[in-house]
Amino acid sequence: MTVRTRADLSALPSYVPGKTIPGAIKLASNEVSAGPLPSVVRAIADAATAVNRYPDTAATDLVARLGQKLGVAPEHVAVGCGSVTLCQQVVQATCTEADEVVFPWRSFEAYPIITQVVGAQAVRVPLTEGHGLDLDAMAAAITPKTRLVFVCNPNNPTGTALRTEEIERFIERVPRDALVVIDEAYREFVDDDAIPDGVELAKRQWAAGRDNVAVLRTFSKAYGLAGLRVGYAVASPAVAETLRKVYVPFSVNALAQVAAIASLDAEDELMARCRAIVGERARVRSELVAAGFEVPVTQANFVWLPLGERTAAFNEHCLAHKVIVRAFVGDGVRVTIGEPEENDAFLAAAKSFEG
């Protein structure tokens, strides 16, 4: 007898993580090259002595600290095992197989995967010619079946970002029974004041009577905790409570909770690192543009090279130079901003590409 599983999952693409090759420079996963701060490492080591106990499944201390940092009551905050799991929780909390999820494409590659896993229908909306989110097309794609809209800002993998007035106009066009999720995994790398702080934008929407706006953030990128998996959502109390209902108990482990709090304690030092990455981002983009590459203005910790059919050849060329980038075959290459010497190695490889 053969076990019956869901037939629709046979065609489900797997999430493809960035490669790791011994001896090569990895610029494929948008990780921060510098390791966690010494104070964070010490906090993790101290907490390791108690890992025989279950973690606080409500992450009470972390939620309280996040509420204090963001200026919201704790009931507005829900945690998850990285923001990607929160994406899945959001779909689970809003959709059935009869519902639709609208998102830009290309964007975070987990969106279509988690949508199909839940059984909802994915509605991909192409980007603009400038590699940004086409909010007019996204608004036009919304139907009575739409329950959820992802707005990745800055967008992964293009790095392009939307301005405050663009997002606010878009929200006005979204029915109040559909949840708009502003995915801000790269918020800490934004240096353009015209790009909104999603939490502040959401608070204004709540005050105006719209509770259908939520924000996702993560400790994986700017805070350097990609290996520990902790993220959070900021939403209306009703939405946050629903997210907690689909949360897998204990999935944000004890070390992750302690490390996140220690990272918040060291936030000034970590944000100084982010500013250094932003400086390197400008240098890398400038040199690529000077070398003849098209590179959209980016507000994340990576750059996007829309190479189209040359993507695979560029990827192989970089691998030959022991630099690992993230290739989306047929579309382009995303390259994480690393340490200066890592960026120099990538730039040397890029400038020698003749494909």
pLDDT tens for residues 290-338?
Answer: 999 999 999 999 999 999 999 999 999 999 999 999 999 999 999 999 9
Model confidence, pTM:
0.95
Do residues 152 and 167 touch, judged by C-beta distance below 8 A?
no
Do residues 51 and 62 touch, judged by C-beta distance below 8 A?
no
Which one, of 260, 254, 226, lies nearest residue 82 by Cα? 226
Do 252 and 288 belong to one domain? no
- In the predicted model, is pLDDT for residue 120 greater than 60? yes
Do 197 and 233 belong to one domain? yes
Q: What is the DSSP string of 46-70?
A: HHGGGTTS---TT-HHHHHHHHHHH
Look at the chain and report how many structural domains it folds into: 2
- pLDDT tens digits for range 25-42: 999 999 999 888 999 999
Q: Which of 265, 284, 302 finishes a domain?
A: 265
* CATH number of the domain within which 19 lies: 3.90.1150.10
- In the predicted model, is pLDDT for residue 172 greater than 80? yes
Q: What is the DSSP letter of 19?
A: P
Q: How far is CA 78 from CA 67, 183, 245, in A?
A: 10, 14, 10
In a domain, 2, yes or no: no
Residues 114-122: contacts with CB within 8 Å, 24+ apart? 114/84, 114/87, 114/88, 115/91, 116/8, 116/9, 116/12, 117/9, 117/12, 117/88, 118/88, 118/91, 118/92, 119/8, 119/95, 120/91, 120/95, 120/96, 120/147, 120/148, 121/97, 121/145
Other Cβ atoms closer than 10 A to 192: 10
- pLDDT tens digits for range 33-73: 988 899 999 999 999 999 999 999 999 999 999 999 999 99
Radius of gyration of the chain from Cα atoms? 20
Q: Which of 226, 249, 265 finishes a domain?
A: 265
pLDDT computed for residue 11 by the predictor: 72
pLDDT computed for residue 222 by the predictor: 96
Other Cβ atoms closer than 10 A to 41: 13
Q: What is the DSSP letter of 102?
A: E
Q: What is the DSSP letter of 91?
A: H
Do 122 and 220 belong to one domain? yes
Range of the domain at 304: 7-36+268-351
